[in-house]
Copies of this chain bind each other. A is one copy, B any other.
Amino acid sequence: MAERERPAVVERGGTVARIESALVEDISTGALAPGEHLDEVGLSERFAVSRTPVREALSRLTAQGILVQGKKRGVRVAEYSPEQLAHLFEVMHEIEVACARIASQRMTLLSRAEIIEKQDICLMAAEAGDLRAYLIANERFHEAIYRATGNPYIVEIASEFRRRTGPFRSRRFATKEDLLGSAQSHKILIDHLFSEDSKVASDGMRHHMANSYLTVLRANLV
């Protein structure tokens, strides 16, 4: 066996959950690129386990649409044509706008604090120019907004689509300025979300998402 990855923290849920979240992180940060083939044996060596839990993790990720099965064999990171990408973002768009509308209606002091805190972390990562940290912090920021809806199933579904679009959004960020710009636009978004008018909030998110999509398109279609 080759070098092995030791669990930094023993996560609850056991081996499968550990593999699954490691892969999700690799994918959402772009360490695993769309279309990249995942080898069962290779992964079982990397995580120092047998193929069985690896297969289970891959199967779960496939069920969530994060991975796809190749034509005849193998499993790969999902990749999307421009048209598919547009469809994916259309769904994201709908979900996020609904989220913003609902969240703004139910915003509590706690939710506000959480959102602001995550935004601070984003800002720190952006200022440090740490892409990987920023991507993770950005996820957390948006998840805080989802949680502000008070609806755990919205959190689930919105996070799922965010993960699926992760690899494409990660390409937006080439320079430190890109990160700072993104963190900056979070600030504006927050102002809208904290407004007491749910239409202001959802329109703010609509604008944010449309912008984001344009940038993604530019980064992925050149």
- List chain A positions with a Cβ less than 8 A from chain B: 16, 52, 55-56, 59-65, 84, 87-88, 90-91, 94-95, 98, 102, 150-154, 156-157, 161
Given A87-B150, A87-B153, 12 more pairs with CB closer than 8 A: A56-B56, A60-B60, A60-B62, A61-B63, A65-B153, A84-B152, A87-B154, A88-B153, A91-B153, A91-B157, A94-B95, A98-B98
Which of A62, A87, A153, A157 has the most chain B CB atoms closer than 10 A to its own CB? A153
Instruction: Known A65-B156, A98-B98, A157-B157; judge A16-B151 contact (CB<8 A).
Output: no
In the complex, chain B residues whose CB is within 8 Å of the CB of A88: 153
In the complex, chain B residues whose CB is within 8 Å of the CB of A152: 84, 87
- Of B63, B84, B95, the residue contacting A63 (CB under 8 A) is B63
| 22 intermolecular pairs with C-beta atoms under 8 Å apart | A56-B59, A60-B62, A60-B63, A61-B63, A63-B63, A64-B64, A65-B153, A87-B150, A87-B151, A87-B152, A87-B153, A87-B154, A88-B153, A90-B102, A90-B151, A90-B153, A91-B151, A91-B153, A91-B154, A94-B98, A98-B98, A153-B161
